[in-house]
Amino acid sequence: MAENQLGSQQVLYLPEGANRVLGRDAQRINIAVAIAVANAVKTTLGPKGLDKMLVSDLGDIVITNDGATILNEMNVEHPIAKIMVDVAKTQDKEVGDGTTTVVILTGELLKGAGELLEQAVHPTTIIKGYKIAADKAIEILDKHSKLLDVNDDATLTKIALVTLGSKNIGDDSAKLNMAKLAIKAIKQVTEKDSSGKASIDTDFIKVEKKAGGSINDTELINGVLIDKEIAHSGMPKYIANAKIALLDTALEIEKTETDARIEITSPDQMQAFLKQEEQILKEMVGKIKKSKANAVFTQKGIDDVAQHYLAKEGIMAVRRVKKSDMEKLAKATGARIVTSLEDLEESDLGYAGVVQEKKISGEQMVFVEKCKDPKSVTLFLRGGTQQVVDEEERAIVDVIGAVSAAVKDGKYVIGGGAIEVSIANDLRNFASEVGSREQLAIQKFADALEAIPKTLAESAGMDTIETLVQLRNKHRTKDGETMGVDILNNKIGDMAKLGIYEPKKVKEEELVTAGEAAEMILRIDDMISSRSKSPSGPGAGGMPPGGEME
C-alpha cells in the first residue's frame, strides 16, 4: 500500500498489495534487469556462439541462437525485460538480422549509464549525450560504408554467409547453397519503382519447410508451393503448360441470403430439384472450361459434383487455399484473382510450366513451378529433424532480411567488430570536442559499441582485453579501419580480405533502436505495480520485488 504524508495526515492513494519502487532504486533495478537479459543472449553472438535450449510449458523444445526467438520463448515477466524483448522484435521486423547485437548494445548502454548515475550525473544529461552520440555514430557509419552493386553476387554472398555464420545448420557447402538460393530468390522478386530504386517485398518469398531428407535437398522453386492436395482422385496429378484460374468464389450451390423454404411433395419434384442443382454446378465447370483453364485454385470450397465434372474435363483443382498463397500465386503466374465465374476470361489466366502433386514426407503438396519471370517464389527447406528445419527457417529469414536490406539501401560495412571499433574511436575524438558533461555519456556510448568485438573475442576463447587493445591500436593506423576479430583463427585480422561484410542498414537500425530503448528506460524513476498480490506469493505476475526476472 503506497502512502504519503500531508502535514500530520497520512494519505493512501494506491490499493492494498500495490508495489512501488522509487528514484535510484528503480533505475538500479531497471538497469540490472536489462543487463541480465543482454547477458542471457550474449553467448550466442558470432560464428562460435553457443545455442540455447528452450522448453515450453507443454514440453516443446526449441534449440536456437537467434536472439529474437530466444527472448520471445523465454516468457519474461519484468516490464523492463519485456521492453528488451520488444527491442529484439523491432530489429527483427525492420531488417531481419542483428537482434542479438541490438540487445547486447542496449544492455551495455544502460550499464554505462548506471556507472554515470553512481557518479551523480543526471539522467537527462546521459540521455542528451546518448542522443548526440547516436546521431554522430550514424554519421560516422555512413562515412565508413561502401557502395553495393546489386549485381555483385560475390559481395551479396559474403553478406549472406556472415548472417549464416552463427547458425548451427549444416556445413559450409550447405550454408553457401542456402546463401545462393536466398540471393536468387531476392533478385527474382525485386522490382524497380518509378525512380529506378529497388523495391523488395519479402512477403512474396514463401518459406515452406518439411522435415525429412537433408539440408542439401533445400531448393528454390520458381513459383509457389501449396501445402494442399488435389481435390479429387480422378483429376490429373501433372499438368504441363498449365493455364491457371484463381478464384475467390465457391464452386458450390450457395445458400440464399434470406430465409427460404422449398416444399417438395413428390419424388419427381425431388428428382428435378437435384437435377437442377447438378445442372448449375455443371454450368460452373463449363464456364471454367470455356476460359481454357486446366488448373483451378480457389479460396472457397468445391462441391463433390463439381469435383466430378472438373475431373471429367481433365481440370486439376485445389480448394481452400489461403488468401496469402492466392496473392503469391497471382504474383508468380500473372493470373488475376476472379471473384465471380461470370467474369472469368482467358485473359485472367496465369501460366506455369508445370503444376504437379508430389508426396513429401507422407503428405501431398502441390507444386506450381517454372513460371515466366515470377515475382513470387518459394524456398522449400528440408532437414533431418523438425528442430533442424525450424532453425533453418529462422536462418533463411535472417538472410532474406539482411540481404534485402543491403540491396534496398545499396550500402554495406566491414563486419567482425571492425565497424564498431571505428565508430568508437571516432566518437571518443568527437567527445573531446564537446565541452559539456554530455561528453561522459558519449564516451560510454563508445565503450558500449566495443562490447561487440569483446563478445566475439570471448566466444572464440580469446583474451578480450588484449584483443580490444590491439584493435584500438590498429584502428589508429592509416589502413587499420578494416581490422576486426578473426574468430575462426583466434586472432585479429583484416575483415575486408576475409570478406566479412554486413548491411549498413542493419547496423544503423541497431544504433537507433538500442539508443532509443536505453533513453526510454533511463527516463523511468518510478515503477508502480497496481496489481494485487496473488496467492502464489508477493509480486507474482506483476513487478517482482527487487526487479528479478522469474
Looking at the domain assignment, is residue 175 inside a domain? no
pLDDT in tens, 343-393: 899 999 999 999 999 999 889 999 999 999 999 999 999 998 888 899 899
Looking at the domain assignment, is residue 380 inside a domain? no
Do residues 245 and 330 both lie within one domain?
Answer: yes
Out of 314, 347, 373, pick the residue that ends a domain: 373
Q: 9 pLDDT exceeds 50?
A: yes
Mean pLDDT (whole number) for 191-205? 82
Q: Which of 124, 84, 120 is nearest to 547 (CA)?
A: 84
Q: 98 pLDDT exceeds 60?
A: yes
CB–CB of 296/333 below 8 Å?
no
Do residues 301 and 425 both lie within one domain?
Answer: no
Do residues 353 and 422 both lie within one domain?
Answer: no
Q: Catalytic positions, please? A: 66, 99-100, 398
Q: Percent of the chain scored above 90 by pLDDT?
A: 62
Do residues 338 and 252 both lie within one domain?
Answer: yes
Do residues 107 and 52 both lie within one domain?
Answer: yes
Do residues 320 and 432 both lie within one domain?
Answer: no
Q: 5 pLDDT exceeds 60?
A: no
CATH of the domain at 123: 1.10.560.10
Residue 316's domain comprises: 224-373
Per-residue pLDDT, 7: 53
Do residues 443 and 502 both lie within one domain?
Answer: yes
Do residues 311 and 428 both lie within one domain?
Answer: no
Do residues 364 and 500 both lie within one domain?
Answer: no
pLDDT in tens, 66-94: 888 888 888 888 889 999 999 998 898 88
The one-letter code for the residue type at 250 is: A
Give 270-333 as a DSSP string: HHHHHHHHHHHHHHHHHHHHHTT-SEEEESS-B-HHHHHHHHHTT-EEE-S--HHHHHHHHHHH
CB–CB of 84/38 below 8 Å?
yes
Looking at the domain assignment, is residue 134 inside a domain? yes
> What would the grid cell of residue 359 be?
508426396
Distance between CA 146 and CA 144 in Å, rounded? 7
Looking at the domain assignment, is residue 382 inside a domain? no
Mean pLDDT (whole number) for 163-189? 90
Out of 343, 358, 373, pick the residue that ends a domain: 373
If 0-12 CB within 10 Å is exposed, 13-18 middle and 19+ buried, where does residue 395 land?
buried
Looking at the domain assignment, is residue 62 inside a domain? yes
**Number of domains, the chain:** 2
Mean pLDDT (whole number) for 262-287? 80
Looking at the domain assignment, is residue 318 inside a domain? yes
Out of 341, 356, 373, pick the residue that ends a domain: 373
The one-letter code for the residue type at 339 is: T
The separation between the first and the last C-alpha atoms of the chain, rounded to the nearest angstrom, is 23
Looking at the domain assignment, is residue 166 inside a domain? no
CATH of the domain at 345: 3.50.7.10
Do residues 426 and 333 both lie within one domain?
Answer: no
pLDDT in tens, 438-482: 999 999 999 999 999 999 999 889 999 999 999 999 998 888 889
Do residues 100 and 228 both lie within one domain?
Answer: no
Q: 320 pLDDT exceeds 70?
A: yes
Do residues 367 and 424 both lie within one domain?
Answer: no
CB–CB of 94/419 below 8 Å?
no
Q: Which of 470, 501, 523 is nearest to 162 (CA)?
A: 501
Looking at the domain assignment, is residue 200 inside a domain? no
